[in-house]
Amino acid sequence: MKIVKTTLFATAFAGLTLAGCESATRTQKGAAIGVGGGAAIGAVIGKATGNTALGAIIGAAVGGTAGAIIGKKMDKQAEEIKQEVPGAKVERVEEGIVVEFSSAVLFGFDQAALTTASKSTLDDLITILNKYPDTDVEIQGHTDNTGTEKYNQALSERRASVVSNYLADKGIGLQRLSTVGYGLRNPKYTNDTPDGRSKNRRVEFLITANDKMKSDAAKEAGTK
């Protein structure tokens, strides 16, 4: 058992190292994730780092040449989001994209109702999501550590659901959407400062390849 755990950790560490190395090609990064075992490695990394977005995207990765093909498609989509969606913090992570909005961009303080301005921002994102229909979108709600765990959990769930419902109302297929609320459990920033707490009050979109994109990439790579 000890050997298995050690091997799993080493593989996860290798994947993370490649992910952070600018000199590694997307094919090399994808291959590392593929060897690491996708969902299992993603779960380990997500738990170890506290970065649920990173863990989920790695868990959905296919790896190898097909993963590199998916990565190139995600590069284009991520660049469009950066250019066309105000207030979005965009990060390319392996075969997916993380789009982060501070809750201040989407909601009033301690609120779960979208503002007029936030709807306009989401409309810009929806335009791009519609251009790339072969992706799945997980919407995560997060809070800071102010208040009780129960209250923050409920608030994060409501915010994720409100955003998902808005996307669905605007034509994004329900089969593409999923939601999860993490409350105060997964801070990405420090909760020791007002600025850090403000950043932790966020909504994240995890954009990953759906089964069709994965199948198409495998065929293009000659692996299926």
Enclosing H/E stretch for 141: strand 135-142
Whole-number pLDDT of residue 189? 93
Whole-number pLDDT of residue 51? 64
Structure tokens at 162: 């409100």
pLDDT in tens, 134-143: 999 999 999 9
How far, in Å, CA of 55 to CA of 106, rounded? Answer: 24
Question: 96-102 and 89-93: which strand pairing?
Answer: antiparallel
Whole-number pLDDT of residue 89? 96
8 A C-beta contact, residue 110 and residue 155: yes
Whole-number pLDDT of residue 62? 87
Split at pLDDT 50, 70, 90, the class of 53 is: confident
Q: How many CB atoms lie within 10 A of CB 78?
A: 22
Q: What is the CA angle 100-104-105, rounded to 5? A: 60
8 A C-beta contact, residue 28 and residue 64: no
Split at pLDDT 50, 70, 90, the class of 57 is: confident
pLDDT in tens, 6-45: 333 334 444 444 444 444 444 444 444 444 444 444 444 4
pLDDT in tens, 76-94: 999 999 999 999 999 999 8
pLDDT above 70 as % of the chain: 76
The residue among 26 and 203 whose pLDDT is bigger is 203
* pLDDT value at 216 more than 50: yes
The residue among 127 and 36 whose pLDDT is bigger is 127
Split at pLDDT 50, 70, 90, the class of 58 is: confident
Whole-number pLDDT of residue 34? 46
Whole-number pLDDT of residue 115? 92
8 A C-beta contact, residue 142 and residue 182: yes
Whole-number pLDDT of residue 28? 42
Whole-number pLDDT of residue 60? 78
Distance of CA 82 to the CA centre of its chain: 15
